[in-house]
Chain A
């Protein structure tokens, strides 16, 4: 397919001269350009310059973050594969593994929201199925600018439609996630997509080019000129010219991806596959270099064999193209035809394009001529920078908060209604109704809950009582802006709590670290502090980090996004049927696991009601978080609780309101509650404060002694605070009624809040 049609003359392009200026255009500094010379012992060719530029981009090399990422806990009794591969792999028993990863597609989604988000989903799905897993769920963590920013509506609609367009057609349920609005994302939205797949532990595949002489196969879509320099674009700040980079955004084809999935899984069952990797950022370059590097081998590619979409493409363009839905595989020598037969069955383009060698070099040939010859190790190893970092001096001033000067609202019920309608807290049904969240008949707990629960159908003896995976993605970037160390710890803790709330044991974490320009010491400090917090929390909660992604240069015109270390967590529940929801049922006792405080810093209440983003994030005691989580899991496992829901944005009042306004099953009437609190804390701080490690549970009153015993056994504080019933949410502080509002009013505000953004 690569040969030009008779009579058409291939367009040959004049290659630019190779000098510091060309290198700079490729995102390489003068110093980095000199290192290229040192490694090669000569000047690079244009193709080589292109290869170095993408491999050494921040996006591919993690050059600013790597020395800090080393401090993360990445191993544990269940971890089969930690960071460094296409995705993390965790043992879930019965010979099965869950394979998952989260990745950003921020810049492409801002430039072209539909295709940017769609290809973000496509890329993360490939990362998961390239390891042998069938994707069983997707999650998305989205951050947009202010709801009233002129671009926000267009971006929300485009991103949601892109995620839906790709995931729905591919056939993976999109089951959970988060959506936040904040002015710091006005010029740089965040689109973080997470994919979760299921594999047999004896059928996991790695991106390793092993076995000298083994053929290298290309399969999937043809290569075109789309996405060239995508990785480099993702490694630069935005400016007013960025919109002109639209051609660097790839176009997704979920149909081909679906064929690719089925062909990959069939290939993996065939005994011919040695190693495999998807062509993501930096396409053919990164997949071939990384596969060779992991195996300590060399690789030789003949670009004339690469299936191409258009004529006249140069070697440089072939190596840097980020055309979607392409894979690279190494198969056993002499077995090529078996692999090619599988691709033919699925109508996919495929070709043998190279061999594994022992030279330790990547050699790229085109038209019989060597276009590039580079030692693999220094190329893949990339660069490591110890960038300077410093706590910004202005932070203390920004954080300053005089709580005494805050005037408490006259009616906390009115304030609660306003909070429920704020786009950050309002129902996201407008979004998740556009996602097919039920395909694959596994969704036991649907979107809108603390965590989604997916039943593991494969290998289940009884489909009605299969084990389940609990999934959640979360981050409170307001906390992270005020204190990146505490903010990152709080993000891990909240995911841990969400997963525990439905009754699942948290297993492991993937992360997506979204920050500004690391060359600025204040941004670098945020990154360093967040990684430190992430590591400390994951160690304490025994949830190792098994995969992740770092996205830097998220800023426009010198203004960085809030530090946003998004956490994705996977948990395991022995029987998915045991998972509990958040909705109250009539005639139950209501109790709080955990302790209320007066901490209000960085809260939704402070922002929505008082227009302030200030103060210190609430303090987190990881030992208490673990105790509360364990107690909740035990309560669910023993079927003692009818509902469980975590307290997060909006505090206890919003948590209680959410329990009241969601039906316990379709068509069931909503159930109110009356609660009495005894703490001597200012009422608005008491009900809207966002202290972590709190879960609201409800249970039949006659089970109170058993509930108390379980909480005590796990060292979790528990207080019975009220009862369900009626059609109002009423909160007393000692004998004073401090909040009283009809749940219908709360429900209306909550259901309609998000629509205001999109219509």
Chain B
């Protein structure tokens, strides 16, 4: 599985995603530079975390208009799997790959800590392999992760809410919501299900040494999915 990790100026989780895809999952991986307009032979794309272009405007707004995003949109329209993490999620929303927006955390602070997530919604390449009801422990690290959407009910009905913040036992509660996201939404997908975005960082929870390898399930699921396609 050839994976492209997009590198914007100011991306800072690009090396981390590269490490997990390459060394932890053992897959061929390369960086796609923001000034490029092709993804080459990539079979999956990661939009990594960071502060693209400094995020001095709305987070992700500049990156959404960079040359490489044209290629990412074309790739997604053909059904190619795209995983958008943290700043990548903000970029995907700004680029129209995903619906909704990510605004300032309710606490007004940057929040870096572990959260718990429940997987739900329609099957996606990144979640199909995760057992139903399994609570994942994955870190967040963001100041602008409060998900907002004008019609959450429709999103839920279409099965496009993929991750929700829950307590360690799987309960949806205000206490489990780290940023004030509507309906505790931590991640969503597009109508087709091939583009998945989430604020938590699965690449930071893909090795037991770092405290959790629950995030590895997203990458393993993708790998299984690609195998199924072949």
Q: Which residues of A are in contact with B by a Cβ distance under 8 Å?
A: 161, 164, 168-171, 253-256, 258-259, 346-347, 432-441, 443-444, 446, 455, 457, 463-464, 576-577, 665-667
**Contact A439–B209 (Cβ < 8 Å):** no
Assess whether A441 is in contact with B207, with CB atoms less than 8 Å apart. yes
- Rounded to whole Å, the gap between the CB of A168 and the closest CB of chain B is 6
Report the bound CA distance from A463 to B208 in whole Å: 11
15 further contact pairs, Cβ within 8 A, besides A168-B51, A171-B50, A255-B54: A168-B141, A169-B51, A171-B13, A255-B51, A255-B56, A256-B54, A258-B9, A258-B51, A433-B111, A436-B112, A441-B204, A444-B210, A576-B209, A665-B211, A666-B114
Contact in complex: B12, A170 (CB < 8 Å): yes
Residue pair B9, A346 in contact (C-beta under 8 Å): yes
- Chain A neighbourhood of B212, CB < 8 A: 666
B192 at interface (Cβ–Cβ under 8 A)?
no
The interface residues of chain B lying within 8 Å CB-to-CB of A457 are 19
Question: Nearest-CB distance from A462 to chain B (Å)?
Answer: 10
With A254-B51, A258-B10, A463-B24 as contacts: A441 and B203 at CB distance below 8 Å:
yes
Residues of B with C-beta under 8 A to A665: 211
Are A441 and B210 in contact, CB atoms less than 8 angstroms apart?
Answer: yes
Q: Decide: A259 near B19, CB < 8 A? Known: A169-B55, A438-B204.
A: no
Q: Using Cβ atoms and an 8 Å threshold, which residues of chain B touch A432? A: 112
On whether the beta carbons of B53 and A455 are closer than 8 Å, the reply is no
CB distance from A367 to the nearest CB of B (A): 34
A–B Cβ pairs within 8 angstroms, 23 of them? A164-B110, A168-B110, A169-B12, A169-B51, A169-B54, A253-B54, A255-B54, A255-B55, A258-B10, A259-B10, A346-B9, A433-B113, A435-B110, A436-B141, A438-B139, A439-B12, A439-B13, A439-B49, A439-B204, A441-B16, A441-B19, A455-B209, A576-B209
- A455 CB to closest chain B CB (Å) equals 7
Shortest beta-carbon distance, A32 to chain B, in Å? Answer: 42
Expressed in whole angstroms, the Cα–Cα distance for A436 and B139 within the complex equals 10
Choose among B23, B51, B168, B201 the residue that contacts A438 (Cβ–Cβ < 8 A).
B201
A466 to chain B: closest residue by CB: B209
Quick check: is B83 within 8 A (CB to CB) of the other chain? Answer: no
Question: Does B15 lie at the interface of the complex (its beta carbon under 8 Å from any beta carbon of A)?
Answer: yes
Interface string of B187-217 (1 = CB under 8 A from A): 0000000000000010110111111100000
- List residues of chain B with CB within 8 A of the CB of A666: 114, 137, 211-212
CA distance A665 to B137 in the complex (A): 12
Closest to A256 in B: B54
B15 touches A255 (CB 8 A): no
- In angstroms, Cα B212 to Cα A667, docked, is 12
Distance in angstroms between the alpha carbons of A464 and B210 in the assembled complex: 9
In the complex, per-residue mask of B75-118: 1 if CB is within 8 Å of any chain A CB, else 0: 00000000000000000000000000000000001111110000
Pair B112/A437 contact, Cβ less than 8 Å: yes
7 A-B pairs with the lowest CB-CB distances in the bound complex, closest first: A171-B12, A255-B54, A169-B51, A436-B141, A441-B16, A434-B110, A436-B112
B112 near A433 with CB under 8 A, answer yes
Note all chain A residues with C-beta closer than 8 A to B54.
169, 253-256
In the complex, what residues of A have CB within 8 A of residue B139's CB?
438
Q: How far is the CA of A171 from the CA of B49 in the complex (A)?
A: 10
Is B32 an interface residue when CB atoms closer than 8 A count as contact?
no
Interface residue B69 (Cβ < 8 Å from any Cβ of A): no
Partner of B53, one of A168, A255, A440: A255
For residue B20, CB closer than 8 A to chain A, the reply is yes
Most chain B beta-carbon contacts within 10 A, residue among A258, A432, A436: A436
Taking a contact as CB atoms closer than 8 A, the residue among A169, A433, A464 that contacts B207 in the complex is A464
Q: How far is the CA of A15 from the CA of B20 in the complex (A)?
A: 59
Taking CB atoms, residues of chain A closer than 8 Å to B204 are 438-439, 441
Q: In the docked arrangement, what's the CA distance between A171 and B141, Å?
A: 11
Chain B residues in 8 Å Cβ range of A464: 207-209
Chain A residues within 8 Å of B114, by CB: 666
Q: Known contacts A463-B209, A464-B209, A666-B137; is A258 also within 8 Å of B168 by CB?
A: no
B23 partner residues in chain A, CB cutoff 8 A: 463
B106 to chain A: closest CB distance in Å?
A: 14
Q: Among the listed B9, B16, B49, B112, which residue makes an inter-chain contact with A347, where contact means beta carbons less than 8 Å apart?
A: B9
Give the complex CA separation of A446 and B113 in angstroms.
10
Q: Are B16 and A440 in contact (CB under 8 A)?
A: yes
CA distance A446 to B141 in the complex (A): 14
Residues in B whose Cβ lies below 8 Å from that of A667: 168
Q: Judging by beta carbons under 8 Å apart, are B20 and A441 in contact?
A: yes
A168, A170, A346, A464 interface centre (most CB from chain B within 10 Å): A168
Query: Would you give the shortest CB distance from A199 to chain B, in whole angstroms?
Result: 16
Q: Which residue of A lies closest to B206 (CB)?
A: A441
How far, in angstroms, from A438 to B207 measured CA to CA in the complex?
13
In the bound assembly, the distance between CA atoms of A441 and B139 in angstroms comes to 11
Pair B209/A434 contact, Cβ less than 8 Å? no
Chain B positions within 8 Å of A463 at CB level: 19, 23-24, 207, 209
B15 contacts A440, C-beta separation under 8 Å? yes
List residues of chain A with CB within 8 A of the CB of B51. 168-169, 171, 254-255, 258
Distance between B147 CB and nearest chain A CB, rounded to angstroms:
20
Tell me how far the C-beta of A177 lies from the nearest C-beta in chain B, rounded to whole angstroms. Answer: 14
Which chain B residues (29-54) contact chain A, with CB distance < 8 Å? 49-51, 53-54
Q: Which residue of B lies closest to A576 (CB)?
A: B209
Alpha-carbon separation in the docked complex, A434 to B141 (Å): 8
Cα A577 to Cα B208 with chains together (Å): 10
A646→B12 CA distance, assembly (Å): 34
Q: Which of B49, B112, B114: most chain A Cβ within 10 A?
A: B112
Q: With A and B bound together, what is the CA distance between A666 and B214 in angstroms?
A: 13
B54's nearest neighbour on chain A, judged by CB, is: A255
Q: Which of A253, A259, A443 contacts B210 (CB 8 A)?
A: A443
Docked-complex contact A435 and B9, CB < 8 angstroms: no
Q: Which residue on A lies nearest to B56, using beta carbons? A: A255
- Closest Cβ neighbor of B108 among chain A residues: A161
* Most chain B CB within a 10 A radius of its CB, from A254, A433, A444: A433
Q: Which residues of A contact B9 (CB under 8 A)?
A: 255, 258-259, 346-347
Closest to A259 in B: B9
A259 to B20 alpha-carbon distance, docked (Å)? 23
List, in ascending order, chain B residues with CB within 8 A of A171's CB: 12-13, 50-51
A258 contact set on B, CB distance < 8 A:
9-10, 12, 51
B1-14 Cβ-contact flags toward A at 8 Å (1 or 0): 00000000110110
Given contacts A255-B56, A259-B9, contact A433 B24 (CB under 8 A): no
- B residues less than 8 Å from A169 (CB atoms): 10, 12, 51, 54-55
Chain B minimum-CB-distance residue to A164: B110
Shortest CB-to-CB span from A261 to chain B, Å, is 10
Contacts of A254 in B (CB 8 A): 51, 54
Closest A residue to B19 using CB positions = A441
**Smallest distance from the beta carbon of A197 to chain B beta carbons, Å?**
14
Task: Name the A residues within 8 Å of B210 (CB-CB).
Answer: 438, 441, 443-444
Instruction: Tell which of A434, A440, A443, A444 touches B111, judged by Cβ atoms closer than 8 Å.
Output: A434
Q: Which residues of A contact B24 (CB under 8 A)?
A: 463
CB-CB under 8 A from A164, the residues of chain B are 110
A577 engages B201 (CB within 8 Å): no
Contacts of A433 in B (CB 8 A): 109-113
Q: Which chain B residue lies CB-closest to A253?
A: B54
Contact A255 B207 (CB under 8 A): no
A61 to B97: give the CA distance in the assembly, Å.
55
